[in-house]
Structure formats: structure tokens, C-alpha cells
Chain A
Amino acid sequence: MSILVDETTRVVVAGITGWQARAHTGFMRKYGTNVVAGVVPGRAGEDCDGVPVFDSFAAALHDHPADAAVLFVPAAAAAESAIEAAGAGVGMILVCAEGVPQHDVARMIAHARRAGVRLVGPNSQGVISPGRAKMGGTGGDLPVTNLLFRRGPVGVLSRSGGMGSETCWLLTREGIGQSTYVSVGGDAMVGAPFSELMPLFQADPETKCVVLFGEPGSNAEEDAARMMNDGDFTKPVVAFIAGMVNESAPQGVSFGHAAAIIERGEGSPARKKALLKEAGAVVVEDMREIPDAVRDALGAGFSRP
């Protein structure tokens, strides 16, 4: 099993005719993703590399029932596209755009919540269940995807798309595969923070251990720690938190993503690490330690495939 996406997930791609979206749609399909339709206003009736294009989500879903939508639309158009998708009845929406205005982010999250739709992103690189299917840009074409990811027992959640892939690569090159990797998005506000996805990993029998890549700002890691303390997440957790350098930077300095803004003492990497450790997570200081920590967590029952 896996979470969010597998080979049975029927996917609609918004903005499919853009050059980047078109390329990624091709990579997704090669990897095994079932892309059933595209949505581009004004382009209804076109065929994009064999995928039928519709004007709206409503029209696309009328002809092609779908489970999930991936949005490759620009930041300025992301909110309206996400809100439309939420209203059209898909169960999950992945928003890839970086730089979505924060008021739009809040609006799309609120709409998704009302419609009971899971929203991943914005500013997400994608979701991949190795060996099954993927949504979004993560991995790119087959050679890189297969270099970075392999199927296995580790769930990976990352606030950084690039570092999430790097985390998977560190595991993969030591023979440790992943059940699903989710780039949750680098913004302060995201539709599905760690605490919304960890219950899915808890329920997934294939996932034996979860790796978190955290960053300064927001309370994603704090909520994850609380979930572990409350007994709502009981599988082993290995965590790495970037941004210790921010602890010594002058107030108001922020390196990295928009989320990485330490405000009023909350959201600091040191605090996140301390809380996760208290909750029983193994917190590593050097990412190269992740594979060993995961191997320890998986225990004797895990051997290299």
C-alpha cells in the first residue's frame, strides 16, 4: 500500500498544455500514473499527447471520473483553479506553484476544507509512491526518478521539495525504499501539514517508519510531536530539521523559504528538535545519518531487498 496516490488513482492535470506541465504529465504517465484528462480554459476538445483537454474541471469530470487533480497552473491562477477543482468533486488536489499570494493560499485551503477535499501544497514538488505512480514534478523523467526513489517501507514527508528528494536518494542508494514521499510544500500555510498526513502513514501497513524533513517557522513539527505524544502516531520517526543557522541570525533575517521566518520565539529549529526528541523521534544532525537511523528503526526484520 501507499498513501495519496497509486496506480489506480485517476488524475486530472490542470494547465496540461504548458510546456512544463506537458513534460511532467508525460513523465507521470511513463511512471504508471493514470492521467484521464486535462483542464485548460479555452482549449476544450484538444488532445494533448493523447489526453483529452476540457475547459473546466466540471466538464472533465463529467466525462472522466477522477480521484485527484494536479495543478501546474501559475501562482496567480492557482487559487481559482484549486477552488474550482474542490467544487468539482475530486478527492485530492496537489498545487505545485511557488509564490502563491498568502491570501489566495488561505482561500484555497478554506474551500478545500469545506468541500472535504485534501489539498497538498502549494509550493509542493509532488507526491510519489515509488514503483506505482506519482503526481507533480518530483523525480522528473524515468532515469532520475529511478535514481532517487524505490519502493519500500519508509514514508517521507518534507517541507522542502529538493531536500525531500535528496532524503529519498540517501535511503535509496543504501537499498532502503519508500512507501510514499510527499513534498508537503514550502510555504508557512499548506493544505496538508505533517499532522494531516501522518495518520495516513499510521494506517498504511506497508509504512514501517516515517522520515520528516523540517524547517524553521510554522508549527508543523510541533504538531507532529504532539501527535506522537498523544499516541495518535506510533510508528518510529526519524527527523532532520534544517535552519539551525537561523538561530544565530539577527532578528528578521530569513534564509530559505517564506515559511522559514522565526517569529516571536515560536517555530525555532531548536525547539522543534527538542519537542520531537521528547516525543521519541530520532533527530539527526547530519542528513547522512538518516539511513542508519532508519535501519535501526526498522529493526532486524528489515533486510536489504
Chain B
Amino acid sequence: MPRVFEDRAKALLRDAGVAVPRGRSVSTPEEAAEAARAIGGPVMVKALVPAGKRGKAGAILAAETPGEAEDAARKLLGRTVHHFPVKRLLVEERVSITQEWYLSIAFDSASRGPLVMFSTEGGVEVEALLEENPDALKRLEVDILEGLSEERCIPFLRATGVQGEALYRAAMALEACYALFRRTEARLLEVNPLVLTDTTEVIAAACVLDLDADALFRHPELEELLDEDSGGGWRPPTPAEARVAEIDASVPPYNTARFTEIEGGEIALMWSGGGGGLYLLDTMARLGGAPATAFDITPGPLEEKYFEITKEILRMPNVRGVLAGSNITSFSRVQLKVRAIARAVEETGVDLAEFPFIVRFAGAGGEEAREIAAGCPDLQYLGDEVTLEEAAERIIAQVEAVKRGESWMSAGGVQ
């Protein structure tokens, strides 16, 4: 899920009518001092990284003066927070807090529509909130065809314990947040904390906005807000992941490959179909194999994309063998993928006598695929005579044999 950095998400919130702290994003200590001076008074200096739990990680620092803001910026810039390098900071006014609330809007797979969650005990991680006082977290299911009006927001918020003038302002904020969630086609909008100030203002002090990669084609203005670290991963992409992402974005059909490098792995998995890819990872784990990649690609005629990605995988230095394939396919012309593999092997010059490479494809195009595989020396082709588990068992045994200095053919290879 592409994540919009906090400064940009707050600009969207402000435009939607939700008050946010006055702030400025900076990328040098000097700019941080200047921003603090312009804001006036005490500020917060926050590392802009697409990860949660920044407070605990020491990535949010308080500063009383421009000088302190500059020092804080010096400490944060260039640091790594939850695997992400800190390249930019958000310097913003420190708001006076009377109450801290939690607000999120996301889709709920049970009601299959938008779900608002709100608690007057915000300011802590939602996990802590659920653990310590789950009853304080109230839920409001929204009928997406009706939307969310003030008339529903007010009774809902009143029931959570919000009162008086704050109730009206909180309802306005919730209504505006919902409108932003819908307009941006977001997967998640979380405001934590939503702050009630000592002057009864309601301010979004921190927020997370996750977009829907499948809806971005309708929102070029939002796509511009993303950068290379906004991909939604738990860490920035590795060089191989970045190259595969580039291939995925430049070779049609776009946005069809999912690729994750697994540290310490040695068997690359190349699968078609998400469920099968997941099952294969499970199977490898159960059998004691060490997958080097979690890669799955939408079933379909994707020869060029498959060719480019296979080359990337064959060039990964830690990979000692490959298992590629899919479920028994109905329609996806597996011969195209086998041809892509044969071409990639030839172009990279990998000697499959030393490097076990098993493909397990069956179904539409299977016979032609088997013939293509036969033309690629030492490429092992398995069809529906074996199950996925048997194919996994074989590649693990073969890689072990190669590591012992033996031929993989001694470990149940087929030619």
C-alpha cells in the first residue's frame, strides 16, 4: 500500500477542512532552525519515514528554540528509523493538549464497507489501545452508498464520550476525514492523536494515509506525492526489488509482479498466482528449505516481463537454485513463461549442470512448454505427474547436493 508521508498527508487534510499544526518540511538543520523561527514558540521535529511507532524509536524530538530545532534536526537527518533513511523532517508547532483521541477509517472485511474507529483514549499505538482498554474503541460501520453525514457523526462521537463544543468540532473533523478517505480512495486514514486543544480546537496532530495502488491511475495528483520509499514495504526496497519494481512498471501488463527478497535465502521461488506462491513459501519452510525470494506474478501471457525478472533472479549472488511454476493452469499459456526462462538462462550464461532449475508447469500450453524446456540444457521440467510439494522437496535436495559439492542429478534430478 503506497503510504503518503505525513507532511503531504497533512496538507491534504488541511485542504479537506481538518485543522493541522502549522508546520514546514525541511531537509537540513539550518532549514529546521528557520522553520522553528517562522512558526514561533516550541516545536516538534519529526522524522518523515513511512513507518509507525516513531515516538518510541526516538524519531520525534521536542525543541523549545530554533537552536534546539537545529540540533534535533542534526540528530535525526541521516539516521535510519525502522529501516528507512531519514531524508526529510517535519517541523511543526507544538499544540497544547487537553485530550488525545484516536480516529481511523479503513475497510472492514466483515461488514465489507468503510469502518470508522474512534477512541477518546488516543495518543498511544492502536495495539496498546486494544490491549489496555478495548471497550474504549468504538466502531461505526458506514454504508458507502449513503456516506457519512454530520447527523451520524454527532451521536456516534457523543457515545464515545466527546461533549460540548468539542463534539461539534470533532464531528466536522470526522466528516471531513471521511470525505478525504473517499476522495483519495484511500485504504487507511488514521489520525492519532486527534487533539482537543485548550482552546477547544480539534487538530490532527499526526496521521497516516495509505492509498490504493489499484486506484492510483485515477489520481495522478496523488501519485506525485509518493516517492521511492512510499511503496508500503516494511523496509526500503533492496536493489533487486527496486530493479524488479522498475521492470514491473515499464513492461506491460503493469503492476502484476510482487517480489520480495528474503535475507539469507538460497532457493529462488518464481510462482504465478498469489495463493500458490504463499503455499510454496509455507511448504519450503515446513521442509526446511531457504527461499531467497517471494515472487509471484499474475497468471497470464507475460513473456517479456518474466524474461526480465528471471534474469534479475539468476544474477542474485546468493541464489543456488530456482523453482518456478504455477498451479495447473487453465488458460495462461505456460509455454510463454518456459520460453522466457530458457531465454534468460541462455542470455545470463548460467550453467544449469551446476545450478538446479526446476519448472513445474502443467495445463494449457504444457506440451509445448515441455518441448521448449527440452531445448534448454539441464532445465528440469515437471508437469502434473508431481505435486507442488514434491517439486519443492526435489529442489531442496538438489541444492543441498550442490552445496556438498555433488551433482544435483544425484539428488533425484530429471532431465
A residues with a Cβ closer than 8 A to B are: 20, 23-24, 75-76, 98-107, 109-111, 114, 125, 137-141, 144-145, 147-148, 158-166, 169-170, 186, 188-191, 193, 213, 215-220, 223, 242-246, 248, 250-253, 255-257, 259-260, 264-265, 267, 285-288
Q: How many angstroms between the C-alpha atoms of A204 and B366 in the bound complex?
A: 36
Complex contact A223–B110 (CB within 8 A): yes
Which residue of chain A has the shortest Cβ distance to B219 in the bound complex? A101
Residue with the greatest number of chain A CB neighbours at <10 A, chosen from B127, B217, B331: B331
Q: How many angstroms between the C-alpha atoms of A244 and B279 in the bound complex?
A: 9
- A101/B112 contact (C-beta < 8 A), A161-B275, A257-B275, A264-B130 known: no
* 11 cross-chain CB contacts under 8 A: A103-B215, A106-B144, A161-B273, A162-B326, A163-B275, A169-B328, A218-B109, A243-B278, A244-B286, A255-B258, A256-B277
Complex contact A245–B182 (CB within 8 A): no
With a cutoff of 8 Å between Cβ atoms, the chain B residues found around residue A99 in the complex are 214, 255
With a cutoff of 8 Å between Cβ atoms, the chain B residues found around residue A144 in the complex are 328-330, 363-364
B residues with a Cβ closer than 8 A to A are: 107, 109-110, 112-114, 126-127, 130, 143-145, 182, 185, 187, 212, 214-215, 217-218, 232-235, 255, 258, 260, 272-279, 281-283, 285-286, 294, 296, 298-299, 326-331, 363-364, 384, 387-389
Complex contact A107–B274 (CB within 8 A): no
Complex contact A287–B143 (CB within 8 A): no
Q: How many angstroms between the C-alpha atoms of A160 and B384 in the bound complex?
A: 19
With a cutoff of 8 Å between Cβ atoms, the chain B residues found around residue A253 in the complex are 233-234, 260
How far, in Å, is B415 (CB) from chain A's closest CB?
A: 25
Complex contact A286–B286 (CB within 8 A): yes
Complex contact A75–B276 (CB within 8 A): no
Complex contact B294–A189 (CB within 8 A): no
Complex contact B275–A162 (CB within 8 A): yes
A166 interface neighbour in B126, B144, B278, B328, Cβ under 8 Å: B328
Complex contact B364–A255 (CB within 8 A): no
Complex contact A103–B182 (CB within 8 A): yes
A sample of 14 more A-B contacts (CB under 8 A), given A190-B112, A255-B294, A260-B278, is A98-B298, A102-B215, A140-B329, A147-B384, A160-B276, A162-B273, A162-B275, A162-B327, A188-B107, A193-B109, A244-B282, A255-B296, A257-B274, A287-B389
Which residue of chain A has the shortest Cβ distance to B51 in the bound complex? A252
With a cutoff of 8 Å between Cβ atoms, the chain B residues found around residue A169 in the complex are 328, 384
Q: How many angstroms between the C-alpha atoms of A272 and B233 in the bound complex?
A: 25
With a cutoff of 8 Å between Cβ atoms, the chain A residues found around residue B145 in the complex are 107, 110-111, 114
Complex contact A256–B389 (CB within 8 A): no
Complex contact B275–A288 (CB within 8 A): no
Which residue of chain B has the shortest Cβ distance to A188 in the bound complex? B109
Q: How many angstroms between the C-alpha atoms of A105 and B29 in the bound complex?
A: 45
With a cutoff of 8 Å between Cβ atoms, the chain B residues found around residue A218 in the complex are 109-110
Complex contact B275–A101 (CB within 8 A): no
Q: How many angstroms between the C-alpha atoms of A138 and B363 in the bound complex?
A: 12
Q: How many angstroms between the C-alpha atoms of A109 and B282 in the bound complex?
A: 32
Complex contact B328–A148 (CB within 8 A): yes
Q: How many angstroms between the C-alpha atoms of A191 and B109 in the bound complex?
A: 10
Residue with the greatest number of chain A CB neighbours at <10 A, chosen from B255, B277, B296: B277
